[in-house]
A and B are shown apart, each in its own frame.
Chain A
């Protein structure tokens, strides 16, 4: 038996001016199920709330409708009010007669009629509202961090320093990521090896961090607080427990293939470590190029290994980890030069990308910081940088700005001028975007002190002319055509998400945009969370960004993980789907339609089962259910029908 109380708020004059609140309360007091109806000037004020509490107790109400502003304003307020006197908060409903009635209509008679109908429909809904209890789920206070670049390193250290265990998964044999490839970092010109390697060592030695290098996430199941992660540990053919990292095997290996860490500028061996400061500093055998693994002979590394660590029989293994939160920090790649036909489609050796230039300028790189061009090893005297290659080009490639190019081009041109003082650097740009702290000053310094020549315009074509690269461009500020015979050209290629991120996003059930950048829950207000609960985003995987922004976001994601772990149980909104097993025919429509994989079909009973901790409560399955077995808690079909009837009758 319903004992409903209706409380009509005047909201000062906001409602009372257009809706006859007195009349509204009078009409509603006779409505079936209603035992009490009143009006008051400010329901949300303390006296207003006290009145609701008193009447709930006095009239023994089992449901409350407050006719007031939008539920987004005060639903929580009034639900807490009724909960404080022992009524289930889900037995309190808001009838929105301000934003969607009194504020948008002027005629008092019409607005009052509409308000009456809105309140009646809300009463009909309330009559069938269930007393719901938020679900509580336990939390595994361990985090998984995917990606061991600077974002993953920072997030792992922050979480581990807060006292929670971290599993850090990195697909390469060492953590460090792209940052370790860089020459210097703008705008302070710190050497990344100097500032990042101590952090890498900390990760390697941290008692709370379990580092799984040369591993990839294979499968994720579960939900926020309770994920189960299957991780593939790729066969390295080296027993890392035995390996002492002496490097003799690398020395003896006869195979030479282009080194990915050095952006294919020089060769590496088939057994190799990424770079000298690698963490963990253990080699792996590249099975695609190892002579023994491809042709069945050689074994030079095995013969020379004093620790007997080489194991050609090693297979991929799998480990399972239980974690409560996942930080995705998979980073970026550069767009492939081959995609840009007008700039040589990657065929000219002396047309290189930004990361290759970083390696050439890096004191620990293949040319020890003095750029020698890849074709013949000459030191380039005329060097052209082209910005926005592939970025800000919606017609052909990517519409977005890659954010870091303006700054790294100044830096590279500066470093180049420092080591080749008689050289000339030209930069073709569309706009210069140096919007960080100390960035603009850095640019001005490059232009004034290092005499970098900035030309505003695009380059239409690059082609080989003897041992030079001919650059045809335009200077739109002077309106002239420009032709430069360059020794080397650096393309600031668009920043794109790292390879494989779309498949990973699918495995994790998180969303990525058209380009593969992971989508944040809200671009402004929830920038480090994914829409799927329990997933957090850090670094360039979410969008192009520079190191300070990456570190800030990683720390933000880590603190979100910490605040999740600071709770002992998680409460989950109970407005979710539930199945009436008596009615369910097991067709599986709901399983297909669920965007969260929250429903499974029990193969034995042939009934759908909702995982209440994963269900986000959208109701799509309920609309897809042909039998009516799937119902949305407190948005049931019958409730909607009754509301429609209250309006249309």
Chain B
């Protein structure tokens, strides 16, 4: 278990979190390499099915990053995402798929440090949590 390196799929909104992740790079802030970023136009375009798909395919964690409340480039997409994720979490809990594997964070363009910190914390958390149980089903 010690050498477990979680795989985290990230959905980063184009205007804030993706740019914030770029800022982390520009500032050369080091963080664990476990995140696999997917750029989407808005966090509000993240279909709950994406999250489910990632978890069912074996991702150990899913990260969604959006603009800070009130700052959404598309008026209120981040709020739409937040509502969907809240519902999704409750469903995942019922299914026993680990609602705590989904992390949501508001990261603005300037907040490279917050992005990097979130990646460190999330990676450590998922490591603690262990691999996605769905992976066991394949081996049963």
Query: Which residues of A are interface residues toward B (Cβ below 8 A)?
Result: 70-72, 96, 98-101, 103-107, 110-111, 114, 117-118, 121, 511, 531, 575, 593, 595-596, 616-620, 622-624, 632, 635, 637, 640-641, 643-645, 647-649
Contacts and interface: CB of A to CB of B under 8 A. Distances in A.
Contact of A106 (B30, B44, B47): B30
A107 B33 contact: yes
Interface stretch (B51-59, B94-102, B123-131): B51-59
B49 A637 contact: yes
Contacts of B53: 640-641, 644
Contacts of A617: 41
A103 B80 contact: no
Contact of A620 (B18, B26, B77): B77
Given A96-B37, A99-B21, A619 B42 contact: yes
Given A111-B33, A616-B74, A644-B38, A99 B26 contact: yes
A511 B49 contact: no
A104 B74 CA distance: 29
Contacts of A596: 75
A623 B58 contact: no
Contacts of B81: 623
Contacts of B49: 637
B89 to A, nearest CB: 16
Contact of A648 (B9, B18, B42): B9
Given A619-B44, A622-B47, A635-B45, A644 B9 contact: yes
A595 B41 contact: no
B85 to A, nearest CB: 11
Interface residues of B, number: 43
Interface in B1-55: 7, 9, 18-19, 21-26, 28-31, 33, 36-42, 44-50, 53-54
Contact of A117 (B36, B50, B74): B36
A70 B57 contact: no
A140 B25 CA distance: 44
Contact of B41 (A101, A118, A619): A619
A635 B38 CA distance: 10
Interface in B98-118: 116
Contacts of A104: 24-25, 28-31, 33, 116
Nearest to B50: A640
A209 B41 CA distance: 40
A595 B74 contact: yes
A620 B42 contact: yes
B80 A593 contact: yes
A648 B38 contact: no
Contacts of B42: 618-620
Central interface residue in B26, B36, B46, by most chain A CB within 10 Å: B36
Contacts of A619: 40-42, 44-45, 77
Given A100-B24, A104-B29, A619-B77, 7 more contacts: A99-B23, A104-B24, A114-B36, A623-B84, A632-B41, A644-B59, A648-B7
